A and B are shown apart, each in its own frame.
Chain A
Amino acid sequence: MTPGAMIFWLGSWVFVLSLTGWAYARVLGAQARREATPDPDDDMTIRERIPPTA
């Protein structure tokens, strides 16, 4: 593998994995904050709702 190809290959991996890691870290952090401070006006964020009749 040439140095240039190595740069493209590793650069692609670093970009994608960094984006993925950042996204999931933010998701987990945000979700932890939401669950720590529930909205008293809303008990209908992502969780089981009243089962639909249909």
Chain B
Amino acid sequence: MAEVQQNREAWGSRIGLILAMAGNAVGLGNFLRFPRQAALNDGGSFMIAYFIALILLGIPLMWIEWGIGRNGGKYGKGHIPGMFAAIWKHPAAKYVGVLGLAIPLIVLIYYTYIASWTLAYTFFSITGDYWGLETQAEMTTYLRSFQAIGDSTVHGAWKAFTFFLVTLFATIWVVSRGIEAGIEKLAKIGMPILFIFAAILAVVVLFFIPPQPGGGGATALDGLGFLFRPDLSGLGSSSVWLAAAGQIFFTLSVGMGTLQTYASYLTKKDDILLNGIATSATNETAEVVLGGTIAIPAAVIFFGVTGATQIAASGSFDLGFATMPVVFQQLPLGQLLGFFWFGLLFFAAITSSVAMATPILAFFREEYGVKRERVAWSLGLVVLLLGLLHIFFLAQGFLDEWDYWAGTFGLALFAMIEVILFMWVFKPENAWRSLHEGADIRLPAIWKFIMTYVTPVYLLILFTWWAVQDAWPILKMEVTAGGAQPTPENIPYIIGARLTMVGILVVGAVLVRMAWKRNGYDDRAGFRELDEPASQHEREADEIGAPD
């Protein structure tokens, strides 16, 4: 039988915990995806649907994930297979939980690559590397050349690879230092810097950019007026409600398995309800107040509402990596502003990346007794090797495929499963009591109804819609995950991307099975709490020695 972990890591401070959780949530989506979604989905209608989804879906899911995590931590389980097995005493629970290992690993791999772009562009802003490329088309060519290994149109052939290595090293180094000395410290430094950079950019956009010829005289207020336009006709459109719910879902980083791992380092004397609200609110400040004030208003000033709409329609990366550099080149201190923009995106990305690594670390440390540093650097090697697939096959749709199945569909599927497990299998009374242990606030009873019935139904509708509308055509390859028509050249890469993900799931299931056997877990009996003394039977079994 495995030695029960008596000394798990812990967060050093409450503010550090909240900043780390917020860092987990705040990502590129706050500054790129949100403004794009608001711009494309009827402005004011989107915001109404968005805040309703925050109340009925986002915050309840946040609480549920913290609750699952802390409950797992009682048994020394910082990973989803263990957390699910703690809730649902059935042999299948641990295998369903493999999603909570595979999804963060898959997303970590390609997200690290995207994070490396933000680091590279931070550097390029300081050096003025892209200065002189003053049109959207030129900056798009610059981006494509950077991303394509071997294409030295603009960049040296291996520049993207070098920045990927540096970003990956930084991520793994932080993770290897542990919860307090690594992740919490990064959050305490990175999150304030992120907010300061974003606030400076928001102030510059609001007050210091005059109307531009290309924008037809539009101002920042016109840009905000476009984003928040009071077009309530969109409330009658299911696509607006679904887009808003989807944005809430992704912006809070629920369905990933990472919030749960962070929460597993709390005890029943620590609050999770108030901390969960603070985390969500911090994310919303980054998104609505700051994210909504930078990219789209700036695009409207320089390109007009029509131009900004076209840019929004072309994608989040073009908005962030092509449009914004064009904007900065027209401004005084543009290189510094570019540094702030890509710098904040880098901190947003890396604070999320380190979170994605923690479920894997927890699993190998707790179930196989491997030291933290060894797991971290081994994980880095795995991310490096599998990351090469994205570096080499980006244009063939490899990243789009992983981003859809793991980072979109997988998140929704996982969130639906965990809500059902925590609120229905664990039972509402147990979930409610669990959430209130150590709480600094008492939730009105209506929230119990919301979490038991409204959130699961909302999520089920969302998931079913996405499955029918998007997943099925993508699965049948009628359209690629990137929204294009599949070509005979790309199909092998799409199939390869899917098979790699399936392979990761299979390896995860095998490792979980091996862990359960080596540690002698009984699926039906469940785990012993860390504080609970061993039974006489268990002490005798330990003395005899468990079989390998």
Task: Give chain A's interface residues, CB within 8 Å of chain B.
Answer: 1-2, 4-9, 12-13, 15-17, 19-20, 22-24, 26-27, 30-31, 39, 42, 44-54
Q: Is the CB of A12 within 8 A of B372?
A: no
With known contacts A23-B274, A54-B365, A48–B282 Cβ distance under 8 A: no
Q: Give the CA-CA distance A9 to B281 in the complex, in Å.
A: 17
Contact with A along B111-129 (1 / 0, CB 8 A): 0000000000000000000
Contact with A along B1-23 (1 / 0, CB 8 A): 00001011111111101100000
Q: Give the CA-CA distance A20 to B283 in the complex, in Å.
A: 9
Q: Is the CB of B370 within 8 A of A27?
A: no
With known contacts A5-B230, A54-B371, A27–B274 Cβ distance under 8 A: yes
Q: Give the CA-CA distance A43 to B13 in the complex, in Å.
A: 14
Name the CB-closest residue of A to B364: A54
Q: Give the CA-CA distance A53 to B7 in the complex, in Å.
A: 8
Q: Is the CB of A49 within 8 A of B278?
A: no
Q: Which of B344-383 contact A (CB under 8 A)?
A: 365, 369-372
Query: What are 5 inter-chain pairs, A to B, with CB distance below 8 A?
Result: A5-B226, A42-B269, A48-B12, A50-B7, A54-B371
With known contacts A1-B224, A5-B228, A27–B18 Cβ distance under 8 A: yes
With known contacts A5-B224, A54-B372, A49–B7 Cβ distance under 8 A: yes
Question: Which listed residue, B15, B225, B266, B288, touches A13 by the CB 8 Å rule?
Answer: B288
Check if B43 is an interface residue, CB within 8 A of chain A.
yes
Q: Is the CB of B288 within 8 A of A16?
A: yes
Chain B residues with CB under 8 Å of A52's CB are 5, 7-9
Q: Is the CB of A27 within 8 A of B275?
A: yes
Chain A residues with CB under 8 Å of B314's CB are none
Count: A-B pairs, CB below 8 Å = 113
Q: Is the CB of A23 within 8 A of B285?
A: no
Q: Is the CB of A16 within 8 A of B284?
A: yes
With known contacts A2-B230, A44-B269, A13–B289 Cβ distance under 8 A: yes
Chain A residues with CB under 8 Å of B13's CB are 46-47
Q: Is the CB of B274 within 8 A of A30?
A: yes
Chain B residues with CB under 8 Å of A45's CB are 267, 269-270
Chain A residues with CB under 8 Å of B282's CB are 20
Check if B44 is an interface residue, CB within 8 A of chain A.
yes
Check if B47 is an interface residue, CB within 8 A of chain A.
yes
Chain A residues with CB under 8 Å of B450's CB are none
Chain B residues with CB under 8 Å of A9's CB are 224-225, 227-228
Chain A residues with CB under 8 Å of B5's CB are 52
Q: Is the CB of A19 within 8 A of B281?
A: yes
Q: Give the CA-CA distance A22 to B25 in the complex, in Å.
A: 19
Q: Which of B210-229 contact A (CB under 8 A)?
A: 221-222, 224-229
Chain A residues with CB under 8 Å of B47's CB are 8, 12
With known contacts A1-B222, A19-B277, A19-B281, A46–B230 Cβ distance under 8 A: no
Question: Which listed residue, A7, A39, A49, touches B9 by the CB 8 Å rule?
Answer: A49
